[in-house]
Amino acid sequence: MFNNRIVIILGVVALVLGIGLCVVGQEAELLRETAAGAGDLALTYIDSTATYIGQGIVYVLNLITKDRVTRDLEKPIGYLGIITGILLVFALLDAARKIIWIGIIVGWVLLIIRIVLDGLKV
């Protein structure tokens, strides 16, 4: 009795997979286009999020420095903000945390140097 159930279940699974593979084979081009479109959408989402985060941080910095920080820094600051957020989410991973902290510290130091240099312009 038990073996008959397994054979029936495996037969149904094989049938479903066979039908699925036939459909996938016929629609392979559409799937490739969809995958490329999904990748583009994901990258666009990340870029837009970085831009918005950077705009917010630059806005706050310009309130403090009286509009001395250029808008060219929006994306770099935004991407560092995203990476900082990821670091905070995955703070439990020791090895990755050390590597990411090095990148974060170097990035923020370089941005602070750029902001100070922009602020010193007359």
Mean pLDDT, residues 58-82: 89
pTM, entire model: 0.55
3-state secondary structure (DSSP) of residue 32: helix
* pLDDT band of 71, cuts 50, 70, 90: confident
> Rounded to an integer, what distance in angstroms lies between the CA atom of residue 17 and that of residue 117?
62
In a 10 Å sphere around its CB, with 0-12 CB exposed, 13-18 middle and 19+ buried, how is residue 65 labelled? middle
CB atoms within 10 A of CB 77: 25
* pLDDT band of 19, cuts 50, 70, 90: low
Among 89, 93, 87, 117, CA closest to 105: 87
